[in-house]
Amino acid sequence: MSEKANIVARTESFPEKTHDIPSIALIVDIYENDEEILLRADMPGVSKEDLKVHIDNGTLDISEIRQIKQTGAADWEEFGDVEYRRTFSVPQTIDIEKIDAELKNGVLELHLPKSEAAKPRLIEIK
């Protein structure tokens, strides 16, 4: 058998290569004050068009799939496609109608304002 035939035979024995997208938990900072809960999530390379922020029944879900366009064959890959995902429990006292989200320079800022009933108040003594 020629050397060329051996190479072909060896490559045919490899299993089919699949490309699974790894899932990564978002890295976040969470701050709370009397007015709101502020969540900052590091999401490099994501676009706001594909970013999903969903809140329902006390659960906040954030997810996005970052896909890197490849040009040529990869000899070494450390920064590839990835799915960012994280789920949080949030208090029922968040005013869902006033939630504000902004994605800037790969950082998601999510402002979760507290409802008036949940804000601390000073009780007057009579």
The pTM of this model reads 0.71
- Better-predicted residue by pLDDT, 31 or 72: 31
Task: Give dist(CA 105, CA 120) in Å, integer.
Answer: 34
- Domain residue limits at 97: 20-69+79-118
Q: Decide if 102 is inside a domain.
A: yes
Q: Decide if 84 is inside a domain.
A: yes
Count of structural domains within the chain: 1
97 phi and psi angles, rounded to 5 deg: -65, -20
pLDDT band at 14; cut points 50, 70, 90: very low
The pLDDT assigned to 21 comes to: 83
CATH number at residue 41: 2.60.40.790
